Amino acid sequence: MMYYNWKQTTNTDELKIVCNLIKNGEIVIFPTETVYGIGANAYDEKAIGKIFMAKGRPSDNPVIVHISDKKTISEIAREVTEVEQKLIDAFMPGPFTLILNKTDKIPDIVSGGLPTVAVRMPDNVIARGIITFSGVPIAAPSANISGRPSGTAVEDIRQELEGKVSAIVDGGETQIGLESTVVRVIEEVPHILRPGKITPEEIRDVAGCVKFSNGIFEPVSENEKVESPGVKHKHYAPKTPAELIYSKVDGTLIFELNRMVKYYKGDVVILGFEEHKNNIVVSKHRFISLGSKNNLEEVAKNLYSALRKADELGGQIILIEGVEKRGLGIAIMNRLLRSCGYRYHEF
């Protein structure tokens, strides 16, 4: 396995090697602006199979196809509607994925056996460079063992995936920290299948309306086929049991956290806001800051690394402070609910 450090600059010779690996059916870890991806040639069924093997990913979980230019959409998708085109123009490149009807060029393994394909154009220089010079779209789920928190830095994921891929490209910490917003247009109405950095308000401004699909804040049936990754199976979860706690009133939230700390006799890890670290009666090293409660972009960026750090500390349980389900808070709460197995208390 090869490791390339492109935190400061992209090495042209190394870029050629990485792209040749993609062309030859190998899998590579690379950064995007959202999280790290583990990618392969989207047209190569055997190569995509290697991703599923490396991650231990269920075969009915679709994979997002990453492109470097909008012209590629016509190769992999058909019948783009007026509303879909508006969304493409507004949010690509960026942390946005659109579900479209696929062409025969996309293998069924990519789409989980469905007639659709998830398409995204990342807004990251390294990702776009690898896609462009590989000459093929790259199918890539998040770079992590299936069910675990996604990787926002190579240090978080290298150990669990080392030896399972041909190369790792290290571009430093990712900018956003949460996976892309996934949308499917149904009868000219955008439906959010997975929330992300692109908010419902932003989509409404472009399309005039927006709806939420099932599974944003509640589990999806194991028998249900889904068009988006990160919806059906266990996702984003630490190994340690976790519970999510939320109140609009800071005093109430802190009181309930302290009550639970006492119940577990201090054998807990807290994922909380910087403003609350001196108010919760737990050892300082067992309080992991998510950032400021007034900066949800910071909270989103820190979320997965904080979950991994909490796991390393051990304990009976991880207690996590929630946020209001509004704007970016919708995506944050979606990930936290899934990471906690929907063990949620609101006061």
Residue 201 lies inside a defined structural domain of this protein: no
Q: What is the CATH number of the domain that holds 328?
A: 3.40.50.11030
Report the number of distinct structural domains present in the chain: 2
Can you give the residue range of the structural domain that contains 96? Answer: 2-179
Residue 205 lies inside a defined structural domain of this protein: no
Residue 189 lies inside a defined structural domain of this protein: no
Number of CB atoms found within 10 A of residue 59's CB: 10
Residues 254 and 175 both lie in one domain: no
Say which residues have a Cβ less than 8 Å from residue 192's Cβ, sequence separation at least 6.
Answer: 181, 182, 183, 200, 203, 210, 211, 212, 213, 216
pLDDT digits (tens, 9 = 90+) for 110-148: 999 999 999 999 999 999 999 999 999 999 999 999 889
β-pairing, 28-30 vs 37-41, is antiparallel
94 confidence band (pLDDT: 50, 70, 90): very high
pLDDT digits (tens, 9 = 90+) for 197-254: 999 999 999 999 999 998 899 887 666 667 776 675 567 889 999 999 999 999 999 9
* pTM of this structure: 0.95
Distance CA(97)–CA(205), nearest Å, equals: 17
DSSP for 227-281, please give it.
SSTTSSS--S--SS-EEEEE-SSHHHHHHHHHHHHHHTTT-EEEEEEGGGTTTS-
Omega of the bond leading into 93 within 30 degrees of 0 (cis): yes
- Whether residue 307 contacts residue 238, with contact meaning beta carbons closer than 8 Å, is answered with yes
SS3 165: coil
Residue 267 lies inside a defined structural domain of this protein: yes
User: What is the reported pLDDT for 221?
Assistant: 67
